[in-house]
Amino acid sequence: MSIFPFTEDIQQDDSLTLPLAREWAWNYINNTFDLKNGKMYIVEGLEAVKVWAYKALKTERFRFSSYDDEYGVEYEGLIGSGFTLDVIESEVKRLSEEALLINAYIISIDNVEVTSINDKVTANITINTLYGVVTVNGN
């Protein structure tokens, strides 16, 4: 019962579930669609979320009008910023979480491991999803 007499109790509708995550298979080494017998194919579940996360971390936010303004990451603002490595690590973690947590299949970001070699920063990000845990490289 609500404290307001004119409102109804809100009931959770368990019938509202997400559809199975699906994405085109991705070849992370060649950075292109993966092919089977010369044709693109669909992956589902954990691998689909991994593909989505990988591509979101590789896409600069606001650059391409074909993407929603919430899609992508804003790493480029860190280039030439003069920030210390500690600040860059902190910003990479924050920006990665901001980019990934818009996906309903991603529950949390469990770990962001940032490394810097010869002024190139890379991040390995462990993502907790509805399908399990996966690590994605964002740089």
User: pLDDT digit of tens for each residue in the chain (139 aa)?
Assistant: 556 556 555 555 555 688 999 999 999 999 999 999 999 999 999 999 999 999 988 888 877 777 788 888 877 777 767 777 788 788 888 888 999 999 999 999 988 888 877 667 788 999 999 999 999 986 6
Q: Any idea which architecture 22-138 has in CATH?
A: Roll (3.10)
Residue 3's pLDDT is 60
Structure tokens at 114: 């940032």
CA–CA separation, 102 and 53 (whole Å): 10
98: number of CA atoms within 13 Å, CB side? 14
d(CA 67, CA 52): 13
CA distance linking residue 3 with residue 45, whole number of Å: 42
Q: How far apart are CA 53 and CA 99, in angstroms?
A: 8
Query: DSSP state, 41?
Result: -
